[in-house]
Structure formats: C-alpha cells, structure tokens
Amino acid sequence: MRLVLLGAPGSGKGTQAARLRDTLGIPHVSTGDLLRAAVKAGTPLGMQAKSVMDAGGLVSDDIVLGMLEERVAQVDAKAGFILDGYPRNVAQCAALEALLERLGQPLDVAVKLEVPNELIVERIAGRAAAEGRLDDTPETVRARLRVYAEQTAPVADHFAEIGKLVTVDGVGELDEVFQRIRKALPA
Ligand code: AMP
C-alpha cells in the first residue's frame, strides 16, 4: 500500500504514520525527518535547509525531491510506504506523480487528517515542551500554518480531483483516530 498522509502541522500525522507503519509493515517516510537528519549530520543540503526550516518556510522542491527519491528507492519501500510531509505544494504533487509512475508504483490513497486550528496551536505547544523542536516556537508555528493554508491545502484538492482523497476527523484519542484511518483505507 502506498499512501500519503495529509494534515496541518500538529494534526497528528507523524504519530499516526508511525502506528500505520507498525500495523501495515511498510516504512514511514517523513520528509521532515529526512531533513532533520540531514541538518543533524551537517550535510551540505542539511546546512542549506536549516535556516528555512527554522523560519517555518518550505525547503526547495529539488532538495526534498532528491531526498525522497533516494528513500523510496530503498528496498524496504518496495512493498509500499506511508508518506508524511510530502507533497507540500502543487509542484511537489506533480513531482510525486511522475516519480511513482517512473517506479511503476502508483499511489493508492491520500488520507487527510482534519483538526481545527485552535487545537493545532495547543498541540504544537505541548509538542514543543515535550520534544524541544526548534521550529515549534509560536512565530514559527504561525508561519508554518500560513504556509500550510496557502501552499499545502491545495494539495488535498488535487487528490480529491483524481478521486484518491479520503478525509478523516483527527480530533479524539490517538486510538480512535487510528481506527478511523484504518476504516478509511482501501481494502
Ligand atoms: P515536518 O516535520 O513535516 O513538520 O517538517 C518540518 C519542516 O521541514 C517544514 O516546516 C519544512 O521547513 C521542511 N519540510 C518538510 N517536508 C517538506 C517538503 N515536502 N517540502 C519542503 N519543505 C519541507
């Protein structure tokens, strides 16, 4: 199964993706995690990406696509993957489609987690306290939510147009939301 998880920062995508990985036995591919690893390792790409990430902006499409291509080419992704944090804009949608077509591995479904903005801000504040992510400051969070509304929200419209979008209520206990996602997945 190849699936994309969509949702605002703090919508619970990362947590749900990890659960799906454990249940479905396919890797969780998070472009945010790939980028954070590159920053931590101090690679040239990571150094380039760091300031953009700290400001809550989007890292260049080329950099992220390169990392993604490398990741999905690995052997554990042959049986499928859960994509988290990609695509983030309409150009990335087209790049993903082209990549998956080249690999002969079309996307099965895009799942969008819906969570109201007030709750998102609360959740991110909690995560900032727990994980100490540098891009979880109030200003950066506002910037990331703005980027999401302007650039990432249209991604869901694209998947709806091609008939691959399912929308799931992301408010509730983790288990509850997880069960909703499972029910929404194609058999
Ligand atoms: P995330 O962990 O998905 O919230 O991503 C953290 C940060 O990494 C984002 O705020 C962006 O700066 C960057 N990032 C992650 N995925 C992408 C992407 N697909 N395109 C551009 N930037 C990304």
The parent domain of residue 7 ranges over 2-26+79-184
Ligand 1 center–CA 58 separation, angstroms: 6
Which pLDDT tens digit goes with each residue over 73-125?
999 999 999 999 999 999 999 999 999 999 999 999 999 999 998 888 888 87
* Nearest atom within ligand 1 for CA of residue 147: 10
Q: Which residue has the higher pLDDT, 138 or 148?
A: 148
Half-sphere exposure of 47 (CA within 13 A, CB side): 3
Q: Which of these is catalytic: 19, 36, 71, 88?
A: 88
Residue 69 resides in a domain: no
For 30, list phi and psi in degrees, rounded to 5: -110, 120
Q: Which of these is catalytic: 127, 164, 180, 182?
A: 127
Whole-number pLDDT of residue 122: 81
How many domains does the chain divide into? 1
The residue among 113, 119, 101 whose CA lies nearest residue 152 is: 113
Burial of 104 (0-12, 13-18, 19+ CB in 10 A): exposed
The residue among 13, 140, 27, 136 whose CA lies nearest residue 86 is: 13
Residue 74 resides in a domain: no
Residue 63 resides in a domain: no
Instruction: Please list the residues that pair with 6 across neighbouring strands.
Output: 112
Quote the CA–CA distance of 153 and 131 in Å, as a whole number: 26
Which pLDDT tens digit goes with each residue over 156-168?
999 999 999 999 9
Q: Is 143 in the pocket of ligand 1 (CB under 6 A)?
A: no
Residue 141 resides in a domain: yes
The residue among 112, 115, 120, 149 whose CA lies nearest residue 4 is: 112
* Nearest atom within ligand 1 for CA of residue 52: 12
The residue whose CB lies within 8 Å of the most ligand 1 atoms, and thus the one to mutate among 50, 51, 53, 71, is 53
CA 62, 147, 133, 181 torsion-angle sign: negative
Q: Is 36 in the pocket of ligand 1 (CB under 6 A)?
A: no
**CATH, residue 180:** 3.40.50.300
Residue 61 resides in a domain: no
Q: Is 68 in the pocket of ligand 1 (CB under 6 A)?
A: no
Whole-number pLDDT of residue 121: 80
pTM as predicted: 0.92
CA 13, 172, 140, 130 torsion-angle sign: negative
Quote the CA–CA distance of 94 and 104 in Å, as a whole number: 15
Residue 21 designated active-site: no
| 54 — pLDDT class (breaks 50, 70, 90) | very high
Quote the CA–CA distance of 175 and 187 in Å, as a whole number: 20
